[in-house]
């Protein structure tokens, strides 16, 4: 709002005029479509005839069909109007009764706006009327049922048969229940506990035995009128069987005996000796068999004390015998005295408590996966460690580690013989209470020990990286090296330590 000031002379102040309207030009096409007709200046057409309002429009008369359907009734017929009296004629009833609304229209909720609202169930949802109670009929007596012709005889017979059958079945069940209960509750009865059958998962003893047994053979050796038996394991598809030297030695000596291999299926084939090594009590024989089952070869160097092992062989001629145990010790030097051996047979054995008896010799010692980790060779029984001892197993069995047996078997298959490293000394086990070792008893003249300066009385305490705790361990420590190899030898001479280098010989 714009303020104006009053002139001092009292004149009328100027009035503000409205702003002129800006009327933009319209589109000729829109003006032609939506504009007023020519000569019309207002919103409505000019009034004609001198009146401000035009006469109301009169609808055309209806057709005859519309008049019949929707027209008023004839004057002579009764209409839908309220009747004059109760009977529809005459003046209204003076009592004020209403024929359409008994009790008066004022009480009807449809005509009284002040009537309260009452909730009523929808049509059709009302509870049906309670049916009238049926009167109880007359009851039938047994006489009427049986003799009154009220029930068919066939139905009575069927009902009797069913009753007899139910009674007989109940008697039998009661008799069986009473008999079983008396047996279970009789004094002195002891019930054995039973468990559900267990599966044989992969890696279990039955699973391993089933896979390894076809590769294990029983070797029967006959020399003249004498016979013996042992075991072996197939290690090559060409039919090569690894076993102990003392098992087949009788057949290679004077008399030239025979060797027969008996397989797990009972088949028999002759076997010939390919090569033998008395120093380690190992031998290889060949059997002319086609497509044999070959045992998997494991690694004995990965064994640990406590590992589960399985021994398989033919103790006392009982082929396919399986015993289980654990690894009791590893790298246990054990001196053997195999039949036909050249003496000084020592192995670096795997000790086990699996039951090994005469006849197990040459059979495999396998781990929990079924891989061969040793060749069963000797037992300690009744103070004897002889492989052929006839004493029973006391849980001290020894097997040749498969890592050593594999190399020896490969060399026997190639050349038929094997050479071992030799230091050229004879020794015995000694100890001073603090240190154990192997004391040299004599030195072979011109041998590797003599050339290295080792003298009688020296105590060998280490060969290479292996400590020496006795004479047997000195033998296996030297055989761990190849002939011609130079190895350091630590000695104790007259209480003073001494180290020499020896070039190993061959034996």
Radius of gyration of the chain (CA): 62
Q: Residue 192's pLDDT band (boundaries 50, 70, 90)?
A: low
Q: Which residue has the higher pLDDT, 115 or 321?
A: 321
Which of 194-203, 212-221, 322-331, 337-346 bottoms out in mean pLDDT, i.e. has the lowest? Answer: 337-346
Which of 42-46, 148-152, 311-315 bottoms out in mean pLDDT, i.e. has the lowest? Answer: 42-46
CA 378 – CA 388 distance, rounded (Å): 8
Pairing of strands 282-286, 240-243: antiparallel
CA 349 to chain CA centroid, nearest Å: 38
* Predicted confidence (pLDDT) at residue 53 exceeds the cutoff of 70: no
Any residues with CB less than 8 A from the CB of 154 and at least 6 apart, and which? none
- Angle, CA of 108, 112 and 113, to the nearest 5°: 145
Q: Which residue has the higher pLDDT, 129 or 352?
A: 352
So what's the pLDDT on residue 8? 54
Q: What is the mean pLDDT of residues 136-159?
A: 72
CA 295 to chain CA centroid, nearest Å: 28
Any residues with CB less than 8 A from the CB of 287 and at least 6 apart, and which? 217, 234, 239, 241, 261, 269, 270, 271
Considering only CA atoms, which of 242, 251, 368, 253 is closest in space to residue 302?
368
Q: Residue 411's pLDDT band (boundaries 50, 70, 90)?
A: very high
Q: Residue 62's pLDDT band (boundaries 50, 70, 90)?
A: confident
Say whether 379 sits in a helix, a strand or coil. Answer: strand
Give kind and range of the element (H or E) at residue 285: strand 282-286
Any residues with CB less than 8 A from the CB of 205 and at least 6 apart, and which? 310, 322, 324
So what's the pLDDT on residue 385? 45
* Predicted confidence (pLDDT) at residue 46 exceeds the cutoff of 90: no
Say whether 465 sits in a helix, a strand or coil. Answer: coil
Q: Which CATH number among 2.30.42.10, 3.40.50.2300, 3.50.50.60, 2.60.40.10 corresponds to the domain 421-506? A: 2.30.42.10
Q: What is the mean pLDDT of residues 204-226?
A: 90
Which of 27-36, 169-178, 337-346, 444-453 bottoms out in mean pLDDT, i.e. has the lowest? Answer: 337-346
First and final CA of the chain: distance in angstroms? 133
So what's the pLDDT on residue 281? 92
Beta strands in 290-406 (DSSP E): 308-313, 321-336, 345-352, 364-367, 372-379, 397-401
CA 408 – CA 377 distance, rounded (Å): 15
Any residues with CB less than 8 A from the CB of 312 and at least 6 apart, and which? 209, 212, 213, 216, 231, 320, 321, 322, 363, 364, 366
Q: What is the mean pLDDT of residues 210-217?
A: 93
Q: Residue 226's pLDDT band (boundaries 50, 70, 90)?
A: confident
So what's the pLDDT on residue 172? 86
- Half-sphere exposure (CA, 13 Å, Cβ side) for 118? 7
Q: Residue 117's pLDDT band (boundaries 50, 70, 90)?
A: low
Any residues with CB less than 8 A from the CB of 458 and at least 6 apart, and which? 439, 440, 491, 492, 493, 498
Say whether 265 sits in a helix, a strand or coil. Answer: coil
* Average pLDDT over all residues of the chain: 80
Which of 77-86, 302-311, 399-408 bottoms out in mean pLDDT, i.e. has the lowest? Answer: 77-86
**In the CATH hierarchy, which top-level class contains the domain 203-418?**
mainly beta
CA 259 – CA 255 distance, rounded (Å): 13
Hey, which residues are catalytic here?
Answer: 246, 281, 361
Considering only CA atoms, which of 329, 371, 375, 377 is closest in space to residue 350?
329
Q: What is the mean pLDDT of residues 218-238?
A: 91
CA 259 – CA 250 distance, rounded (Å): 10
So what's the pLDDT on residue 364? 95
Longest dimension (CA), the chain: 171
* Predicted confidence (pLDDT) at residue 125 exceeds the cutoff of 80: no
pLDDT tens-place string over residues 272-283? 999 999 989 999
Q: What is the mean pLDDT of residues 111-117?
A: 64
A 10 A CB-CB count for 302 gives 11
Domains 203-418 and 421-506 share a fold: no
Pairing of strands 486-493, 505-506: unpaired
So what's the pLDDT on residue 1? 47
* Predicted confidence (pLDDT) at residue 36 exceeds the cutoff of 50: yes
Identify the DSSP state of 297. Answer: B
Q: What is the mean pLDDT of residues 94-111?
A: 58
CA 314 – CA 67 distance, rounded (Å): 125
* Predicted confidence (pLDDT) at residue 108 exceeds the cutoff of 80: no
DSSP assignment of 325-341 equals EEEEEEEEEEEE--TT-
What residue ranges do the domains of the chain occupy? Answer: 203-418, 421-506
Pairing of strands 364-367, 397-401: unpaired
- Half-sphere exposure (CA, 13 Å, Cβ side) for 370? 18
Which of 63-67, 265-269, 345-349 bottoms out in mean pLDDT, i.e. has the lowest? Answer: 63-67
pLDDT tens-place string over residues 331-369? 999 888 644 444 568 889 999 999 998 889 999 999 999
CA 435 to chain CA centroid, nearest Å: 53
Structure tokens at 420: 């071992």
So what's the pLDDT on residue 387? 45
CA 338 – CA 388 distance, rounded (Å): 8
Say whether 247 sits in a helix, a strand or coil. Answer: helix
With the C-alpha atoms ordered 493, 499, 503, 507, is the resulting torsion angle positive or negative?
positive
Q: Which residue has the higher pLDDT, 141 or 367?
A: 367
State percent of the chain over pLDDT 70: 71
Q: What is the mean pLDDT of residues 79-96?
A: 54
Q: Residue 488's pLDDT band (boundaries 50, 70, 90)?
A: very high
Q: What is the mean pLDDT of residues 497-504?
A: 93
**C-alpha distances out from residue 446 to 91, 115, 290, 454, 502, Å:** 168, 143, 50, 11, 12
Q: Residue 141's pLDDT band (boundaries 50, 70, 90)?
A: confident
Q: Residue 55's pLDDT band (boundaries 50, 70, 90)?
A: low
CA 414 – CA 416 distance, rounded (Å): 6
* Predicted confidence (pLDDT) at residue 372 exceeds the cutoff of 80: yes
Which of 231-245, 342-356, 383-397 bottoms out in mean pLDDT, i.e. has the lowest? Answer: 383-397
Q: What is the mean pLDDT of residues 110-133?
A: 61
pLDDT tens-place string over residues 434-487? 888 999 999 999 999 999 999 999 999 999 999 999 999 999 999 999 999 999
So what's the pLDDT on residue 322? 94
* Predicted confidence (pLDDT) at residue 159 exceeds the cutoff of 50: yes
């Amino acid at each position: 709002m714009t303020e104006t000031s009053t002139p001092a002379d009292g004149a009328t102040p100027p009035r503000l005029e409205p702003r002129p309207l800006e009327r933009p030009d319209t589109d000729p096409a829109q003006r032609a479509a939506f504009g007023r007709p020519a000569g019309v200046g207002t919103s409505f057409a000019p009034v004609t005839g001198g009146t401000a309002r035009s006469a109301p429009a009169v609808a055309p008369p209806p057709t005859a069909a519309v008049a019949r359907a929707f027209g008023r009734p004839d004057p002579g017929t009764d209409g839908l109007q309220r009747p004059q009296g109760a009977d529809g004629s005459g003046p209204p009833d003076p009592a004020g009764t209403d024929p359409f609304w008994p009790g008066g229209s004022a009480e009807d909720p449809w005509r009284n706006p002040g009537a309260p609202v009452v909730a009523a169930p929808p049509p059709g949802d009302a509870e049906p009327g309670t049916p009238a109670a049926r009167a109880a009929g007359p009851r039938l007596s047994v006489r009427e049922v049986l003799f009154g012709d009220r029930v068919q005889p066939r139905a009575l017979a069927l009902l009797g048969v069913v009753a007899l059958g139910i009674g007989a079945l109940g008697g039998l069940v009661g008799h069986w229940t009473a008999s079983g209960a008396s047996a279970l509750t009789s004094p002195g009865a002891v019930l054995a506990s039973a468990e559900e059958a267990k599966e044989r998962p992969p890696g279990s003893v039955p699973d391993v035995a089933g896979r390894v047994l076809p590769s294990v053979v029983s070797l029967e050796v006959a020399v003249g009128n004498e016979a013996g038996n042992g075991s072996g394991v197939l290690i090559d598809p060409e039919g090569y069987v690894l076993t102990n030297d003392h098992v087949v030695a009788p057949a290679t000596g004077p008399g030239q005996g025979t060797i027969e291999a008996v397989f797990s299926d009972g088949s028999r084939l002759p076997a010939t000796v390919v090569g033998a090594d008395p120093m380690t009590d190992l031998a290889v024989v060949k059997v002319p068999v086609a497509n044999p089952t070959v045992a998997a070869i494991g690694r004995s160097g990965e064994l640990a004390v406590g590992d589960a092992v399985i021994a398989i062989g033919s103790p006392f001629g009982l082929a396919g015998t399986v015993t289980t145990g654990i690894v009791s010790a590893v790298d246990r030097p054990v001196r053997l005295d195999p039949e036909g051996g050249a003496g000084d047979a020592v192995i670096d054995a795997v000790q086990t408590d699996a039951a090994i008896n005469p006849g197990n010799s040459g059979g495999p010692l396998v781990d929990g996966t079924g891989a061969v980790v040793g060749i069963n060779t000797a037992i300690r029984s009744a103070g004897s460690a002889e492989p052929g001892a006839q004493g029973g197993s006391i849980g001290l069995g020894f097997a040749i580690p498969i890592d050593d047996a594999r190399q020896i078997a490969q060399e026997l298959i190639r050349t038929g013989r094997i050479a071992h490293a030799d230091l050229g000394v004879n020794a015995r086990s000694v100890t001073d209470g603090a240190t154990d070792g192997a004391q040299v008893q004599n030195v072979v003249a011109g041998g590797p020990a003599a050339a290295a300066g080792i003298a009688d009385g020296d105590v060998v305490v280490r060969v290479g990286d292996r400590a020496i705790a006795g004479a047997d361990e000195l033998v296996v420590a030297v055989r761990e090296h190849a002939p011609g190899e130079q190895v350091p030898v630590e000695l104790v001479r007259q209480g003073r330590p001494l180290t020499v280098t020896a070039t190993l010989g061959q034996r």
